[in-house]
Amino acid sequence: MSVARPTYCGVMPTPRYTHGHHESVLRSHQWRTAANSAGFLLADLGTGDRVLDVGCGPGNITADLAQYVPDGSVVGIDLSEEIIARATSDHAATPNVSFRVGDVYGLDAPDGSYDVVYAHQVLQHLHDPVAALREMRRVLAPGGLLAVREADFGGFFWHPATPALDEWMELYHRVTAHNGAQADGGRHLPQWVRGAGFTDLAVTATSWTFETAEDRSWWGGLWADRVVLSEFARQAVEYSLSTPEELETIAAAFRSWATSEDGLFVVPSIEVLARP
């Protein structure tokens, strides 16, 4: 028997977002483009499509998508006022993109008002991704397209093996579980999408690979900073799941990995296209 989740004025309560928007986190989000994060969608975009980007963060993918729909528009929504203010200012020069504060559990849009609803690395952070997907389905026009992509932390791999990075992965799972989130969201994504009533699923997987000296320095450096400076670090200590000393050890392991000339890090994501 399923138990109804408590809601406030019909809106799902939102858990703490694990990463926050510290500069070390944004270094990663601002690197993202339509090509490296929405490649599975691009061939299906029509030039006049109305696109909604849910949980858009700093809006780099959102603004990039706008170039693929020159006669249409892209709206980015995010729960964080701070990140929406930043996205609005950073992408003011892109004419057909706009940003609003909004909650995926209660979208401020009429039924059937978008041709495409996209969400990238958002559902894994939610208590109830199926409820979120149902709301995304509500705002899709008949014949519209859902496009969602989620990483699967349990599927990450790297070389060389480093015990402190294994501890980081274990800690990441424990912090996200404490937040009611699902670190291995990728493998659950098709099931979530079906559970929300979508049909005609096309499921694929692509990955980001960090191997060159420049990529290792960037990826290892941003994670070294994230594990001690971001909201993740604050939560890990607050939940008594780690200590500042242990986090410093993990940060040092990321820096050391970055300098290994045989170093490799692979981040897989599952992506789903589906119809409402």
State the minimum distance, in angstroms, from the CB of residue 121 to ligand SAM.
4
Give the residue among 44, 52, 48, 35 at the shortest CA–CA distance from 274.
Answer: 44
Residue 32 interacts with ligand SAM (CB under 6 A)?
A: yes
Residue 104 interacts with ligand SAM (CB under 6 A)?
A: yes
Report the site for ligand SAM in 122-141 (rule: CB under 6 A): 122, 125
Q: How far apart are CA 63 and CA 66, in angstroms?
A: 5
State the minimum distance, in angstroms, from the CB of residue 161 to ligand SAM.
27
154: three-class secondary structure by DSSP: helix
Q: How far apart are CA 221 and CA 25, in angstroms?
A: 11
Token representation of residue 11: 């809106």
Segment interacting with ligand SAM (CB under 6 A) among 73-81, 165-173, 188-196, 254-262? 73-81
Report the site for ligand SAM in 216-245 (rule: CB under 6 A): none
State the minimum distance, in angstroms, from the CB of residue 256 to ligand SAM.
26
Residue nearest to ligand SAM (CB): 57
Q: Give how far Cα 273 sits from Cα of 39, 40, 44, 137, 269, Å.
A: 11, 8, 10, 12, 13
Residue 61 interacts with ligand SAM (CB under 6 A)?
A: yes
Q: How far apart are CA 53 and CA 131, in angstroms?
A: 17
Residue 55 interacts with ligand SAM (CB under 6 A)?
A: yes
When the beta carbons of 100 and 164 are compared against ligand SAM, the nearer one is 100
When the beta carbons of 14 and 73 are compared against ligand SAM, the nearer one is 14
Q: 15-27 in b/e burial notation, b at 16+ Cβ within 10 A? A: ebbbbbbbebbbb
When the beta carbons of 120 and 188 are compared against ligand SAM, the nearer one is 120
Residue 68 interacts with ligand SAM (CB under 6 A)?
A: no
Token representation of residue 50: 């109305």
Token representation of residue 6: 């408590």
State the minimum distance, in angstroms, from the CB of residue 251 to ligand SAM.
20
Among 50, 86, 91, 120, binds ligand SAM (CB under 6 A): 120
State the minimum distance, in angstroms, from the CB of residue 203 to ligand SAM.
19
Helix 244-259 with 163-178: angle, nearest 10 deg = 130
Chain-centroid distance of CA 215 in Å reads 20
Contact between residue 273 and residue 202 where contact means Cβ atoms under 8 Å apart: yes
Among 24, 121, 235, 269, binds ligand SAM (CB under 6 A): 121
- Which residue spans within 14-82 are E strands per DSSP? 50-54, 73-78
- Name the site residues for ligand SAM (rule: CB under 6 A): 14, 17, 19, 29, 32, 37, 55-57, 61, 78-80, 83, 103-105, 120-122, 125
